[in-house]
Amino acid sequence: MFDLETIVRPNVWKMKAYASARDEFKGTASVYLDANENNLGSLAGDNYNRYPDPHQKALKSKIAAIKGVRPSQIFLGNGSDEAIDLLFRMVCRPGQDRMLHLPPTYGMYEVSANLNDVQLDAVQLTPDFQLPVAEVLRNVKNTTKIIFICSPNNPTGNSINPESIEAILDNFDGLVVLDEAYIDFSDSPSWITRLPDFPNLVVLQTFSKAWGMAGLRLGMAFASEEIIALLDKIKPPYNINEATQELALKALEQDEQLKYMVEEIVQERQMLEAALPTMAIVEKVYPSDANFLLVKVKDANRLYSYLLDKGIVTRNRSSVPGCENCLRISVGTTEENQQLYQAMSEFKI
Residue closer to ligand PLP, measured from CB, 52 or 344: 52
Selected from 9, 81, 116, 291, the binder of ligand PLP by CB under 6 A is 81
The whole-angstrom separation of Cα 291 and Cα 262 is 9
Candidates 116, 185, 219, 320; binder of ligand PLP (CB under 6 A) is: 219
**Is residue 224 near ligand PLP by the rule CB under 6 A?**
no
Distance (Å, whole) CA 172 – CA 146: 9
Q: Count how many Cα atoms sit within 13 Å of the Cα of residue 328 in the half-sphere of its side chain.
A: 21
Residue 146 found at the interface with ligand PLP (CB under 6 A): no
**Cα angle for residues 32, 38, 41 (degrees, 5° grid):** 100
User: Nearest CA to 182 among 151, 216, 223?
Assistant: 151
User: In the complex, what is the shortest distance from the CB of residue 79 to ligand PLP, in angstroms, rounded to a whole number?
Assistant: 3
Please give the residues from 148 up to 207 whose contact with ligand PLP meets the rule CB under 6 A: 150, 154, 179, 181, 206
Strand, helix or coil for residue 100: strand
**How far lies 88's CA from each of 1, 12, 146, 179, 295, in Å?**
20, 11, 8, 14, 32
Kindly tell me which of 81 and 268 has the beta carbon lying closer to ligand PLP: 81
CB closer to ligand PLP out of 44 and 214: 214
Considering only CA atoms, which of 297, 285, 333 is closest in space to residue 158?
285
CA–CA separation, 265 and 334 (whole Å): 9
In the complex, minimum distance from the CB of residue 152 to ligand PLP, in angstroms, rounded to a whole number: 8
The distance of closest approach from Cβ of residue 161 to ligand PLP in the complex, given in angstroms and rounded to an integer, is 17
Question: In whole angstroms, how close is the CB of 316 to ligand PLP at the nearest point?
Answer: 16
- 3-class secondary-structure state, position 346: coil
List alpha helices for 116-157, DSSP H.
133-138
Minimum gap (Å) between residue 262 Cβ and ligand PLP: 16
Please tell me whether residue 179 adopts helix, strand or coil conformation. strand
Q: Does 208 bind ligand PLP (CB under 6 A)?
A: yes
Q: Which range touches ligand PLP (CB under 6 A), out of 46-54, 76-84, 119-127, 139-147?
A: 76-84
Choose, by CB under 6 A, the member of 80, 200, 239, 288 that binds ligand PLP: 80
Number of residues that bind ligand PLP (CB under 6 A): 12
- Beta carbon nearer to ligand PLP, 252 or 275: 252
Beta strands in 124-255 (DSSP E): 144-150, 175-179, 201-206, 219-222
Q: Choose between 98 and 101: whose C-beta lies nearer to ligand PLP.
A: 101
Q: How near is the Cβ of 202 to ligand PLP at its closest, in Å?
A: 13
In the bound state with ligand PLP, the residue whose beta carbon lies nearer, of 222 and 347, is 222
Q: Which residues lie closer than 8 Å to 121 by C-beta, 6 or more apart?
A: 98, 99, 100, 101, 139, 141, 144
- The distance of closest approach from Cβ of residue 41 to ligand PLP in the complex, given in angstroms and rounded to an integer, is 32
Q: Are 155 and 315 in contact (CB under 8 A)?
A: yes
Stretch 102-121 residues interacting with ligand PLP (CB under 6 A): 106
* Residues found near ligand PLP in the complex (CB under 6 A): 79-81, 106, 150, 154, 179, 181, 206, 208, 214, 219
